Amino acid sequence: MSNVLTELSDTLANTVANAGAGVVRVEGRRRIPATGIVWSTEGLIVTAHHVVSRDENIQIGLPDGRSTTATLVGRDPATDTAVLRADAADLTPFTESNKQELGVGNLVLALGRPGKTVQATLGIVSALGDSWRTRMGGQVDRYLQTDVVMYPGFSGGPLVDAYGRLAGMNTSALMGGVSLAIPTATLARVTDALVAHGRMKRGYLGVSTQRVKLPDELREQLGQKSGLLIVSAESGSPASAAGLTLGDTIVTLDNEKVRDHDDLLALLTGERVGTAVPVSIVRGGQVQQVQVTIGERE
């Protein structure tokens, strides 16, 4: 038994030592520094949006002990992701883990570098699930929950498998009290968009809404129990330009059912920005359809 534990201990220590080459310190806020993930050899760093409170004067602590400056490429609060470009070259990015090999109960390590040296905490994958949407409308490709302890400064750091391969980015901001990791597929998609555009495009209607139950006759007609009552429409917004107004109830957008606010957020994707889509509403007890050109959220 002692040999097994010794081998496990040595393996974990080696994993942390090797993976530490892809972990940097991020000084982008007043309080304790946070952690970042080396994304490319040319200096791209991925970290958590909530640990980068300023756009300038960002410092990066490199694995070899040097410090350098970084500029903000872009941020996506909806997935708690920020991308920095450090004034450094020949960095060591992670190898991505095979998501099919990662299962509930597998050992994982959360790594951080809030100081000069890499730190680690051990845990297991406690839950895996399908894609989900954050409270701000960000699409996350996989639900990845662990029981790792998120010590101060670990947000923005990597979650790695037993081989030291990147499984995701640790964050404590998306769901209070739950240790989540943004999977690599989401990080790659968001990073590509931020590098290309400096932002994530998201659709915008310009309405405030409230979920309401539909009358029985409309439930049968539409095949859904609820819709979104418009309680206000911003002047000059896409909704206002299309004639949507207080008292209308949105029931579909682009032929997809809208039963609650999450449904609406899920449909206001970047791909729909600038396009005219049909929106079905209930007005005066009758179902009507209007064309709305989706705007872009600031």
Helix (H, G, I), strand (E, B) or coil at 220: helix
- Position 158 scores a pLDDT of 98
Is 102 in the same domain as 38? yes
Range of the domain at 131: 1-200
- The residue annotated as part of the active site, out of 76, 80, 161, 248, is 80
The rounded mean pLDDT for the chain is 93
What is the longest distance spanned by two Cα atoms in the chain?
76
- Mean pLDDT in residue range 275-291: 96
Helix (H, G, I), strand (E, B) or coil at 294: coil
Whether the pLDDT of residue 298 is over 80: the answer is: no
Which tens digit of pLDDT belongs to each residue from 95-121?
Answer: 988 777 899 999 999 999 999 999 999
CATH number at residue 239: 2.30.42.10
Last residue within a domain, chosen from 200, 227, 250: 200
φ, ψ of residue 272 in degrees (nearest 5): -90, -10
Is 185 in the same domain as 277? no
- Position 176 scores a pLDDT of 79
Which tens digit of pLDDT belongs to each residue from 143-171?
Answer: 999 999 999 999 999 999 999 999 999 99
Percent of the chain with pLDDT over 90: 79
Is 59 in the same domain as 3? yes
Q: CB 187: neighbour CB atoms within 10 A? A: 24
- The residue annotated as part of the active site, out of 50, 97, 179, 280, is 50
- Position 141 scores a pLDDT of 93
Is 183 in the same domain as 223? no
Is 10 in the same domain as 95? yes
CB 124 within 8 A of CB 146: yes
Last residue within a domain, chosen from 180, 200, 220: 200
Which residue, among 152, 130, 145, has the nearest Cα to 51 in the 3D structure? 152
Is 266 in the same domain as 191? no
Cα 189 from Cα 18, distance rounded (Å): 26
Whether the pLDDT of residue 224 is over 70: the answer is: yes
- The residue annotated as part of the active site, out of 49, 76, 97, 155, is 155
Cα 124 from Cα 7, distance rounded (Å): 18
Is 119 in the same domain as 192? yes
Which tens digit of pLDDT belongs to each residue from 19-63?
Answer: 999 999 999 999 899 999 999 999 999 999 999 999 989 999 999
50 has catalytic annotation: yes
Is 101 in the same domain as 176? yes
- Position 5 scores a pLDDT of 87
Is 43 in the same domain as 163? yes
Whether the pLDDT of residue 262 is over 80: the answer is: yes
Which pLDDT band, with edges at 50, 70 and 90, does 2 fall under?
Answer: low
Q: What predicted TM-score, i.e. pTM, was given to this entire model?
A: 0.82
CATH number at residue 7: 2.40.10.120
Contacts 24+ apart (CB under 8 A), 99-105: 99/142, 99/167, 99/183, 99/184, 99/185, 101/161, 102/128, 102/161, 102/167, 103/128, 104/128
- Position 1 scores a pLDDT of 56
Is 184 in the same domain as 235? no
Cα 36 from Cα 92, distance rounded (Å): 12
- Mean pLDDT in residue range 64-73: 96
Q: What is the CA radius of gyration of the chain?
A: 23
Is 113 in the same domain as 241? no
Is 181 in the same domain as 213? no
Domains contained in the chain, number:
2
Cα 122 from Cα 23, distance rounded (Å): 16
Last residue within a domain, chosen from 181, 200, 219: 200
Whether the pLDDT of residue 292 is over 60: the answer is: yes
